[in-house]
A = this chain, B = another copy of it.
Amino acid sequence: MSENKYLSIYNDLLSKIEKGIFKPGMKIPSENQLVEQYETSRETIRKALNLLSEHGYIQKIKGKGSIVLDVRKFDFPISGLISFKELAQKLGKPSRTIVEQLEMVKPDEVLKKHLHVTAREDIWKVVRVREIEGERIILDKDFFNKKFVPFLSKDICARSIYEYLEKELQLKISFAKKEFFVEECTEEDRMYLNLKQYTHVVVVRNYVYLDDASLFQYTESRHRLDKFRFVDFARRIHLH
């Protein structure tokens, strides 16, 4: 609790939207009403509302008010920057993580480029399979710079690496760049996944950065074609 006023108002309003107390199409209380409800200033309310707007939960209309949107329904993996565990919890489907590899490696040319490291640095390599409703759908290959993550265990990898990084190691994960494209599947894909007849996989490359803009993780997430789905929300900037 405490800590941050506008974030806690954001969370409170968000949970009211998710619980359906504020329904899609409905107006939420005006800024001035919220000022009274939360006993705070209008600027603080506006910070919370602007966050909701950026994330696609409400639409603010000048002179009228803010209405709840319903475009924000989740489908499949990775909307925004959340971990597989957080996602699995939201989806509510039976899912399981299998740790196939966990080892310390020296970077090859590809990794040196992706992780911005020299040949002498140590890298954690984690290979995990995500099983959803009994099928091996996603192959996750994570690479962490040992400088930031001195220790890892199979147990941690099976639960949630992000939880460990943020709660135990106190790393502040801040932002990520993602790339999506389609690639022919490799021997490794065929070995670890239930690929059926598909000849291609959807590849999601993830570059994850800390608070101070240092790159600490590179992830390649390889999805079976038919199970891949990504949902995005975007606002248009008008320049005038």
Chain A residues in the interface with B (C-beta under 8 A): 3-4, 7, 11, 51, 54, 56, 59, 61, 64, 67, 69, 71, 75, 80-82, 172-182, 199-200, 202, 207, 209, 211-213, 225-226, 228-240
Complex contacts, A237 vs chain B, CB 8 Å: 51, 80
Complex contacts, A4 vs chain B, CB 8 Å: 240
Complex contacts, A228 vs chain B, CB 8 Å: 180-182
CB distance from A69 to the nearest CB of B (A): 6
Which residue from B80, B82, B213, B229 sits with its C-beta under 8 Å from A69?
B213
Asked whether A175 lies within 8 Å of B67 as measured between CB atoms, the reply is no
Asked whether A178 lies within 8 Å of B232 as measured between CB atoms, the reply is yes
Asked whether A178 lies within 8 Å of B213 as measured between CB atoms, the reply is no
Question: With A69-B213, A180-B180, A181-B230 known to touch, is A225 a contact of B240 (CB < 8 Å)?
Answer: no
Asked whether B59 lies within 8 Å of A175 as measured between CB atoms, the reply is yes
Complex contacts, A176 vs chain B, CB 8 Å: 233-234, 236
Complex contacts, A69 vs chain B, CB 8 Å: 213
CA distance A82 to B236 in the complex (A): 7
Asked whether B11 lies within 8 Å of A182 as measured between CB atoms, the reply is no
Closest to A231 in B: B179
CB distance from A175 to the nearest CB of B (A): 5
Which residue from B59, B64, B231, B234 sits with its C-beta under 8 Å from A80?
B234
Closest to A71 in B: B177
Asked whether A230 lies within 8 Å of B175 as measured between CB atoms, the reply is no
Which residue from B80, B174, B177, B182 sits with its C-beta under 8 Å from A226?
B182
Closest to A66 in B: B213
CA distance A236 to B83 in the complex (A): 10
CA distance A173 to B61 in the complex (A): 13
Closest to A235 in B: B175
Which residue from B64, B212, B231 sits with its C-beta under 8 Å from A178?
B231
CB distance from A148 to the nearest CB of B (A): 16
Other A-B pairs, 14, CB within 8 Å; known A67-B213, A200-B200:
A51-B237, A54-B54, A61-B211, A69-B213, A80-B236, A81-B235, A173-B236, A175-B235, A178-B231, A180-B228, A182-B182, A182-B202, A182-B228, A199-B199
Asked whether B225 lies within 8 Å of A179 as measured between CB atoms, the reply is no
